[in-house]
Amino acid sequence: MLTRIDHIGIACADLDATAAFYRATYGFEVFHTEVNEEQGVREAMLRINGTDDGGASWIQLLQPLDPESPVGKWLAKNGEGVHHIAFGTADVEADAETARQAGVRVLYDTPRTGSMGSRITFLHPKDCHGVLTELVTAAPSKGVEGPSGH
């Protein structure tokens, strides 16, 4: 069962400049950064708040490592902005199967590793009213749950 909005993924051309904007404008600090070679991105997670289920809500900034990566191609076509929405779940496999049963295409046969060791999959945007949708099971953590990766 989906429990929260885990994060909003935002594609950007310059991760550092975009993170500086979010810090100066909203006071959001970068909680975690990493390079996800499998997804082809450099990313930063900005924690927004905690949630009743023990998780957190985040802004995920995504800078492509290569113009030919999925985010790189998306950025070239659409420009900077919202790339996807991610919903938190205790069981990414079960919720992916529920989506499949409802006729939604699930992009990965088995979940992949996302930010901070999470497990993720994506739902096809054409089956989700034009929105690329990610399902995220956060990795067990030491007090701060979240987020996915891209």
Residues annotated as catalytic are: 7, 43, 60, 84, 134
Instruction: Enter the tokens of residue 7.
Output: 């994060």
The torsion defined by the Cα of 102, 92, 126 and 115, in degrees rounded to 10, comes to: 180
CA distance 147 to 1: 16
| CA within 13 Å, CB half, 76 | 10
